[in-house]
Amino acid sequence: MISNICCIGAGYVGGPTMTVIADRCPNILINVVDTNAEKIKAWNSEDLNKLPVFEPGLRELIKKVRNKNLFFSSDIDLCIKNADAIFISVNTPIKTSGLGAGEASDLKWVEASARRISENANGHTIVIEKSTLPVRTAKVIKEILSTQEIYENDNERNKSFSVLSNPEFLAEGTAIKDLQEPDRVLIGGDDKNAILELKKLYLNWVDKHKIITTNLWSSELSKLTANAFLAQRISSINSISAICEATGADIKEVAKATGLDSRIGLKFLKAGPGFGGSCFKKDILNLVYLCKYFNLRQVGDFWEQVIKINEWQRNRIYEIIVKNLFGNISDKKILILGFSFKANTNDTRESPTIGLSINLLKENANLVFHDPQVSFDQIKNELEKFTDLQKYTNQISFCSNLYNASDYADAIIIMTEWKEYELVDWEKITKKMRKPSWVFDARGILDISKIRTENINIWQVGNGVIKN
Ligand code: UDX
Ligand code: ADP
């Protein structure tokens, strides 16, 4: 029976997942470990506003379980040694150099975790892949672990491993609810006992019909497929948003009329500035890489198009903004509402705001950022990854009060669908803006019927210019 868990990686996946398991399984002791000591310190912070991950409902649960059966620790080796189940929840970004650069996942953190497990584990240990990984990663983990197994067996020490795949399906912003009430839990593997042990863990709160078991490769591929399908829906609706703008159709009406077909469904049909986040692009790139590897060029081309449309949508919105501002944004003040890749998270990975901001900076615009959960330091760190920010330091600033920030602004761009942006008092704001003033609603969240002021031009994704 699993009674002691170690989770390697205290990020957006590891942190919330282990918090929910700790809450639902009070008899299991859980240690979440990370090589990043600052992150561990932040997870242990007395001030719950300083947790490294912002997720609705997370703070309340942390308060309940932290230092009872959930611990955040930097003593990785000891926590591995004491564990009978180890979740690998480390980052797996796309490789930036070398073979497969820009296409394949960088597995160095997974490999490092496997090596550390193989050195420190004790007795029989179930090793569980939690991070999204390319298909057949379990093979890499198994090989690393089995080398150690043989070596240790030679020394007659008791050390053995079972490797399972148990992909996470949580979406940021709703992670706690997704974990508490999952649509399904997927467990892939070939060791029936290990599968049963993990299944028993989830049975503490998940209905047995929702727990499905498959072989390892099906489990890994299902995760990539699910994300590819979701991303594909967004690219599909974004492609239609451009047709709506050209024809006078309204994207929300089209999405509703289409989605009400129960075979299609209403979810994931919101047009926007293109999908972001750490998973969609990476997972599709992994799928495309896999297709190339197996000589399935047409299949790879099909999925690659989902990413191409996403990039096209991002660029299309940037061009619309510049064109409407008379093709010249030099020295103009632009207020950008939202830097996180979606609402209710502080995660900025692959946020569509990054590329847009850099494009606007290159045209000499002055940008003022606003985000309820992302700090100016985080924004600068994110931009710095993609551009030489030194060149633009005089062009960027941050404002925590968006009414103050709108003074003499030429344009406001809504990039993240934070609730507070739906509730903005446009009458108050437009009085402060320079004329002609523009609002670009890249998320389609504004209800035009409620905006009374005449002093504003509004462009909305999937609708075009709706007020001027
Ligand atoms: C995704 C998957 O949903 C989740 O199952 C998986 O475990 C991890 O990847 P996440 O990236 O956290 O989760 O968020 P998600 O809600 O899927 O949104 C991804 C991106 O798509 C965001 O940028 C979001 O704004 C965008 N999106 C989503 C749209 O533009 N329109 C939609 O209708 C839905
Ligand atoms: P995700 O969204 O997949 O959770 P994050 O980047 O938020 O990704 O979190 C992954 C975490 O894994 C990071 O905090 C990182 O420091 C940690 N990590 C990476 N490699 C190791 C390792 N070998 N041992 C322990 N922690 C690691």
Q: For residue range 361-413, list pLDDT tens digits in order.
A: 999 999 999 999 999 999 999 999 999 999 999 999 999 998 999 999 999 99
Q: What is the pLDDT of residue 42?
A: 98
Question: Does residue 172 have an active-site annotation?
Answer: no
Ligand 2 pocket member 398 (CB < 6 A): no
Q: What is the pLDDT of residue 155?
A: 53
Provide the token pair at 336. Answer: 């950008």
Q: What is the pLDDT of residue 157?
A: 55
CA-to-CA distance for 457 and 325, rounded, in angstroms?
Answer: 11
Q: What is the pLDDT of residue 178?
A: 97
Ligand 2 pocket member 241 (CB < 6 A): no
**pLDDT reading at 219 higher than 90:** yes
| CA of 456 relative to ligand 2 center, distance in Å | 45
Question: Does residue 199 have an active-site annotation?
Answer: no
Best probe residue, ligand 2, of 34, 88, 132, 283 (max atoms within 8 Å of C-beta)? 34
Write down the catalytic residue from 168, 172, 197, 417.
168
Counting atoms of ligand 2 from 1, which one is nearest the CA of 36? 16
Helices 352-362 and 297-324 pack at an angle, to 10 degrees, of 50
CA-to-CA distance for 432 and 204, rounded, in angstroms?
Answer: 55
> What DSSP assignment string belongs to 84-103?
SEEEE----PBPSSSTTTTT
Domains, the chain, ordered by start: 4-214 (3.40.50.720), 217-468 (3.40.50.720)
Judge whether 343 and 406 are in contact, CB under 8 Å.
no
Write down the catalytic residue from 279, 342, 382, 417.
279
Q: How many CB atoms within 10 Å of residue 287? A: 24
Q: What is the pLDDT of residue 435?
A: 92
Question: Does residue 6 have an active-site annotation?
Answer: no
Q: What is the pLDDT of residue 228?
A: 97
Helical ranges in 107-208 per DSSP H: 108-120, 137-154, 175-180, 192-203
**pLDDT reading at 211 higher than 70:** yes
| CA of 90 relative to ligand 2 center, distance in Å | 4
